[in-house]
Amino acid sequence: MRANAVEDLLTSIHSANRPSAVWDSASGFFDSCGLDRIIYLDVGPVRERVMTTMPAAWMAHYTERNHARIDPFIRYCAASLAPVGTGIDYLEEHSYLDARERGFIREAAETGFRSGMSCMIRVKGSMGAAGWNLGSTMPRQQLEKILARHGDILRLAAHLSHEKLAQSDSSAEVAAPVLSPRETECLQWLAAGLRTKEIADRMGIRPITVELHLRNARNRLGAQTREQALARAITSGLLPV
């Protein structure tokens, strides 16, 4: 993956004026990383959006058979912010799946979907759910090598793309929140790939103070996770990329 891949993605989605253009940029980015079976959903009281690079024939079959009823991603992955392995290469790790759910995963494997990882942004609840199934035709071992090297970048790309897609649905101008200089600096170091202790060393403060600044930034930005806070700060123009 090129060092400026996320910068290129942000530039591309920033200039996109339609959800389809944002999707083209996001799906193209993930495809360049080998993630060629991705699924994005954002469903809730105000929108219902599902976008995917799965084959059209599979999606027609999915709709016709009402597979949303037995889709393990919706039932299990969407219930947790923690990443969950998806696809047939992870099937034996999920002993809790019933026969229909296992059959669903085997059917998906016929399209080439071998391995993937969930990246949830809003867990399933009264407000619906939003997130990604970052799937691929790669075997699990190859996918995990990519995730080990570039997982943080891929998750940030998923959050950036979601934020832009959500913004594209709203025509109202919303004032960007104001971050303190320390909150901004912590997010900048986070964007550079540093961990809490490394950020504390750079800033000359204690790790617990870094955690406090990041928590305050999440609250101001209305974010559930660090990745979501970082994505919202970038897409709102509060941070350079």
In the chain, the amino acid numbered 58 is W
Write out the residue limits of the CATH 1.10.10.10 domain(s) in the chain.
181-235
- Section 6-29 average pLDDT: 85
Instruction: Flag whether the pTM goes above 0.85.
Output: no
DSSP per-residue string spanning 153-175: HHHHHHHHHHHHHHHHT--S--P
pLDDT at 171 over 60: no
Quickly state the pLDDT bin for 223 (edges 50, 70, 90).
Answer: confident
CA distance linking residue 15 with residue 75, whole number of Å: 35
Residue 206 has a CB neighbour count (10 Å cut-off) of: 12
Instruction: Determine the pLDDT at residue 87.
Output: 98
pLDDT at 238 over 50: yes
pLDDT at 115 over 50: yes
pLDDT > 70 in the chain, percent:
94
Quickly state the pLDDT bin for 120 (edges 50, 70, 90).
Answer: very high
> Would you call 224 exposed, middle or buried from its count of C-beta atoms within 10 A (0-12, 13-18, 19+)?
middle
pLDDT at 44 over 70: yes
Write out the residue limits of the CATH 3.30.450.80 domain(s) in the chain.
5-168
Q: Which CATH architecture has domain 5-168?
A: 2-Layer Sandwich (3.30)
pLDDT: is 15 or 156 the higher one? 156
Quickly state the pLDDT bin for 166 (edges 50, 70, 90).
Answer: confident
- Section 125-147 average pLDDT: 95
> For the segment 70-92, what is each residue's pLDDT rounded down to a tens digit?
999 999 999 999 999 999 999 99
CA distance linking residue 38 with residue 61, whole number of Å: 17
Quickly state the pLDDT bin for 167 (edges 50, 70, 90).
Answer: confident
Token couple for 215:
């928590």
Indicate the average pLDDT of the chain.
89
Provide the 8-state DSSP code for 193.
Answer: T
CA distance linking residue 26 with residue 52, whole number of Å: 11
Sheet holding 48-52, edge to edge: 48-52, 37-43, 128-136, 115-125, 85-86
Residue 56 has a CB neighbour count (10 Å cut-off) of: 8
User: Measured at the alpha carbon of residue 11, what is the angle toward residues 6 and 12, in degrees to the nearest 5?
Assistant: 95
Provide the 8-state DSSP code for 177.
Answer: P
The helix/strand/coil state of 39 is: strand
- Strand 48-52 relative to strand 115-125, pairing: unpaired
- Section 167-196 average pLDDT: 79
Q: Class assignment of domain 181-235?
A: mainly alpha
pLDDT: is 117 or 1 the higher one? 117
